[in-house]
Amino acid sequence: MKFLLIVFFITNIIFSQQNPLFEIDTRMRVVNDKTLYVVIQIDNKSGRRVSQLKGFLTELNNKGDIISEKKIIHVNNKGPLLTTNQSTIRALTFPFKKNLDHRFRYNISKIVFQNDSREFIWTKNDGLIRIN
């Protein structure tokens, strides 16, 4: 009996440590003295095909206050699907000010998987959350 309990707890620990469904990488490049180029790369590790993927890129100051927010559509329902182990890359430009500490945060606001009518959001901490 004790052996079964130990096996149960070990398998529970192993299977509860899941990899994230999406890997998000946000990179900044200063193009010239007036332009900042922000690149967002999302890698699909979910094991499912994604038919819609949208999110928001938020610009923050050094105190954490929101300066601006822009919507980004990575995958729409009229284009090709984002399959497993594929990446999607989008970029936006912002005015570059040397006196500001530029910080950016990207949040996925809508995910729809192929052949599924449900809509989700995804966060690294909470995972998939159904919104519709």
Q: What is the pLDDT of residues 81-110, one digit of tens each?
A: 999 999 999 999 988 888 777 889 999 999
126 — phi, psi (to 5°)? Answer: -100, -15
Task: Answer yes or no: are the C-beta atoms of 52 and 63 closer than 8 Å.
Answer: no
Task: Answer yes or no: are the C-beta atoms of 106 and 45 closer than 8 Å.
Answer: no
- Calpha distance 74→79 (Å, rounded): 10
Give me the helices (H) in the chain, please: 2-16
The reported pLDDT for the residue numbered 44 is 93
Under DSSP, is residue 93 helix (H, G, I), strand (E, B) or coil? strand
For CA atoms 11, 16, 21, 22, give the dihedral sign: negative
pTM reported for the whole predicted model: 0.77
* Predicted confidence band of residue 71 (pLDDT cuts 50, 70, 90): very high
CA distances (Å), origin 32, targets 27, 36, 95, 120: 16, 8, 10, 38
The reported pLDDT for the residue numbered 5 is 47
* Predicted confidence band of residue 6 (pLDDT cuts 50, 70, 90): low
CATH number for the domain running over 20-130: 2.60.40.1470
Q: What is the pLDDT of residues 8-52, one digit of tens each?
A: 545 444 444 467 889 999 999 988 888 999 999 999 998 899 999
Residue 64 scores a pLDDT above 90: no
* Predicted confidence band of residue 112 (pLDDT cuts 50, 70, 90): very high
The reported pLDDT for the residue numbered 100 is 77
